[in-house]
């Protein structure tokens, strides 16, 4: 392994910068040359490569977003696009690639590797959604749940002061991890997630019982992928069945993706970045490096994408008990 490339792809997540820094510093430590590819697969196709030295990644450890930029590339879905990407990687003499991203990024890498097998790929889980199998946490998740928790705390001040019922929608695509943890941490009365079927009548009953106990201020956290719809839709359904609440809706949106990474995300990103380079150096190919039970784990890219992280129903029980 003489030269590697690193890129970030898909939705940016806080911690991608510390991960890039770790990849660059680890590569240089092991006397491997390193280039950055700007804007993910798009830049790979458009030949947007830049050499990276130790100084290029100074003072990015605490910055949100990604210094390399990110994109969701349609062209990489085509055979021609991937052929162009391969041509550029070869022209830059790249032997191995570190791909920091989520399931879309790894799916792209998997398809590419089926067509071209002389360039090694290692994935690093970078997404706020925490929806990849084979790692306890993805890079950016800890920062995102803390951001969501702080936002819900603030909304709760108004909910309590005005006796209001708030539906707060959080991100996560089709996974409920951000909703579950931020909701528990901020004392939500109910948390609606895609992994479990939402029953509007049950929710209405719960809110009625709360009203009987004179609890008119309530927070319901809704994961954006919930089967009953987004926060606006669910609020509407509840309102039509129970008219006693002053109902408000807040969508947290992209503010959950930004900001300085937490200590947990910086350390995870640093550790996985180094592990990715060492995996390439040791001839490993086609796996995602993760952290499972505090140890570094290696899982085939295909499994990381397909199996998803299992949502445990003990969270649900916890919410029920804590909201009693
Ligand atoms: O995968 C990260 C994520 O923020 C999801 O939680 C969300 O559904 C999606 O990306 C939003 O994507 P975009 O920024 O392209 O709208």
pLDDT at position 221: 98
Return the CATH number of 3-140+261-306, one of 1.10.10.10, 3.40.50.1000, 3.40.50.450, 3.10.350.10: 3.40.50.450
**Ligand 1 and 105: CB distance under 6 A:** no
Of all protein residues, the one whose alpha carbon is nearest to atom 2 of ligand 1 is 11
List 12, 103, 129, 226, catalytic entry: 129
H helices of 116-262, where? Answer: 141-162, 177-185, 200-212, 231-241
Query: What is the model's pLDDT at position 134?
Result: 95
From the CA of 173, how far away is ligand 1's center (Å)?
Answer: 6
Q: What is the CATH number of domain 143-257?
A: 3.40.50.460
CA of 133 to the centre of ligand 1 (A): 18
Rounded distance, CA 140 to CA 146, Å? 10
- Is 12 an active-site residue? no
What is this structure's pTM? 0.96
Quick one: which atom of ligand 1 is closest to the CA of 128?
2
Structure tokens at 195: 């992994």
CA of 178 to the centre of ligand 1 (A): 12
Residue 11 CA to ligand 1 centre (angstroms): 6
Delimiting residues of CATH 3.40.50.450 domain(s) in the chain:
3-140+261-306
Shortest-distance atom of ligand 1 to CA 173: 8
Calculate how far, in angstroms, residue 13's C-alpha sits from the geometric centre of ligand 1.
Answer: 10
Nearest CA to ligand 1 atom 11: 11
Task: Give the model's pLDDT for residue 253.
Answer: 98
Return the CA Rg of the chain: 22
* pLDDT at residue number 307: 72
| CA distance to 181, 183, 228, 232, 321, per residue, from 165 (Å) | 20, 14, 18, 13, 19
- Quickly tell me which residue has 């929806």 as its tokens: 131
The 3-state DSSP class for residue 5 equals strand
Cα–Cα distance for residue pair 272/6, rounded to 1 Å = 13
Distance CA 15, CA 26 (A): 16
Closest-lying ligand 1 atom to the alpha carbon of residue 13? 2
Please give the Cα distance from 33 to 4 (Å, whole number): 6
Q: Is 36 in a helix, a strand, or coil?
A: strand
| Token pair in block for residue 26 | 């680890």
Q: Is 102 in the pocket of ligand 1 (CB under 6 A)?
A: yes
Please indicate whether residue 134, judged by its CB atom, sits closer than 6 Å to ligand 1.
Answer: no
- Residue 22 DSSP one-character state: H
Residue 306 token pair? 């397909």
Residue 179 · residue 223 · CB < 8 Å: yes
Which residue CA neighbors atom 13 of ligand 1 most closely? 11
Say what the alpha-carbon torsion angle 238, 243, 248, 254 is, to the nearest 10 degrees. 10
| pLDDT score of 159 | 96
Terminal alpha carbon distance of the chain: 58
Q: Are strands 295-300 and 287-292 parallel, antiparallel or unpaired?
A: antiparallel
Ligand 1 near 11 CB (within 6 A): yes
pLDDT tens, 223-268?
A: 999 999 999 999 999 999 998 889 999 999 999 999 999 999 999 9
For the chain, which ranges sit under pLDDT 70?
Answer: none
Over the stretch 186-211, which tens digit does the pLDDT of each residue have? 999 999 999 999 999 999 999 999 99
CA of 72, closest atom in ligand 1: 15
Contacts of 31 (CB under 8 A, 6+ apart): none
| Residues ≥6 apart with Cβ < 8 Å to 103 | 127, 131, 132, 304, 305
Q: So what's the pLDDT on residue 190?
A: 96
Q: Pinpoint the residues of the chain covered by CATH 3.40.50.460.
A: 143-257
The pLDDT of residue 317 is 85
């Amino acid at each position: 392994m003489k030269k590697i490339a690193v890129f970030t792809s898909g939705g940016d997540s806080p911690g991608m910068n510390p991960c890039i820094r770790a990849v660059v510093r680890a590569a240089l430590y092991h006397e491997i040359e390193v280039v950055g590819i700007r804007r993910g697969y798009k830049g790979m196709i458009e030949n947007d490569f830049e050499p990276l030295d130790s100084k290029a990644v100074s003072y990015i450890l605490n910055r949100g977003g990604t210094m390399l930029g990110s994109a969701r590339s349609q062209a990489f879905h085509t055979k021609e696009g991937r052929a162009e990407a391969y041509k550029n990687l070869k022209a830059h003499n790249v032997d191995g690639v570190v791909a920091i991203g989520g399931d879309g990024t790894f799916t792209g890498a998997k398809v590419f590797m089926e067509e071209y097998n002389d360039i090694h790929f290692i994935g690093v889980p970078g997404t706020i959604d925490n929806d990849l199998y084979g790692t306890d946490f993805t890079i950016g998740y800890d920062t995102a749940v803390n951001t969501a928790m702080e936002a819900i705390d603030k909304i709760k001040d108004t909910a309590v002061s005005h006796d209001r019922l708030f539906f707060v929608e959080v991100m996560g695509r089709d996974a409920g991890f951000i909703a579950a943890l931020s909701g528990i941490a901020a004392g939500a009365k109910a948390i609606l997630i895609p992994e479990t079927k939402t029953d509007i009548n049950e929710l209405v009953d719960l809110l009625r019982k709360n009203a009987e106990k004179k609890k008119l201020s309530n927070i319901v956290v809704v994961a954006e992928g919930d089967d009953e719809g987004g926060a606006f839709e669910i609020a509407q359904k509840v309102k039509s069945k129970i008219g006693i609440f002053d109902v408000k809706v807040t969508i947290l949106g992209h503010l959950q993706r930004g900001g300085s990474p937490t200590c947990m995300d910086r350390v995870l990103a640093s550790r996985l970045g180094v592990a990715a380079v060492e995996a390439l150096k040791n001839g490993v190919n086609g796996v995602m490096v993760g952290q499972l039970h505090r140890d570094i784990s290696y899982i085939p890219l295909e499994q990381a994408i397909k199996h998803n992280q299992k949502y445990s129903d003990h969270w649900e029980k916890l919410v029920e008990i804590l909201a009693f």
